[in-house]
Amino acid sequence: MKATIMNVTKYASKIGILATLGILAFASGCGRPFDVKTANGFVELENQAPEYDYRATTPDGVVMSIRAIDNTGSSGQRGDIAFWERAVTLEMRDVQGYAFFDAKDVSSADGTKGRELRFGHDEDGKPYEYFVTIYLAQSRIYVIEAGGKKDLVDRASPNLTWMASNVKVKCGGFLAPVLASHTCNRW
């Protein structure tokens, strides 16, 4: 009887260790590699992958999205903030036809430094605004985009600003640093 209890205890201990490792393996592969909160007046859209990792909209069509793009190559990180700022500006201005308005330094909620670029264009005589914010962290490029008709963007501006300022591209917490460099799980 004593041997049976010891065997059960030994197997239970092994199962506990395997279960813990399984949970860690599963958790490290799921979730977003950033944390974002959806503001009042916006609804998170589902099934936006693979183009977007996060996307939310107002009923009027003002949209905010986030993409996390791998930024590693055979020689390490591909490009710094200045490189990606220039690449986005050239794409938006020269290829997409947007007017460049402004660029400024910004920081994410976790203190990561980035750049916010502002663009605009007219569609059917109506002005549209488009914002792109770029962060580099965790071997990724984080691209936060927001836009819509100018009057609607102006109205949604406090909520857009709140969402953008609360994004975390470096996540820590209870299992950091094991999971922090891979995902910002919502447990």
Q: Determine the Cα–Cα distance for residues 169 and 107; give it in Å rounded to an integer.
A: 10
CB-based contacts of 111, cutoff 8 Å, min separation 6: 170
In this predicted model, what pLDDT tens digit does every residue of 156-182 receive, in sequence order?
Answer: 999 999 988 888 887 665 444 444 444
In this predicted model, what pLDDT tens digit does every residue of 51-76 receive, in sequence order?
Answer: 898 999 999 999 999 998 888 877 76
Which pLDDT score, from 0 to 100, does residue 123 have?
92
Which pLDDT score, from 0 to 100, does residue 175 have?
46
Q: Determine the Cα–Cα distance for residues 87 and 32; give it in Å rounded to an integer.
A: 25
Tokens 């994410």 correspond to 108
Which pLDDT score, from 0 to 100, does residue 18 have?
38
The DSSP code sequence of 69-138 is: EE-EETTEE---HHHHHHHHHHIIIIIS-PEEEEEEEEE-TT--EEEEEEEEEEETTEEEEEEEEEEEET
- Residue pair 166/109 in contact (Cβ under 8 Å)? The answer is yes
Which pLDDT score, from 0 to 100, does residue 150 have?
96
In this predicted model, what pLDDT tens digit does every residue of 100-148 receive, in sequence order?
Answer: 999 999 998 888 899 999 999 999 999 999 999 999 988 889 999 999 9
**What global pTM score does this model have?**
0.74
Of 32-36, 90-94, 135-139, 169-173, minimum mean pLDDT range: 169-173
50 band by pLDDT with thresholds 50, 70 and 90: confident
User: Which of 104, 66, 61 has the alpha carbon at shortest distance from 85?
Assistant: 104
Query: With b meaning 16 or more CB within 10 Å and e meaning fewer, what string describes 89-107?
Result: beebeeeeebeeeeeeebe
Neighbours of 152 (CB within 10 A): 17
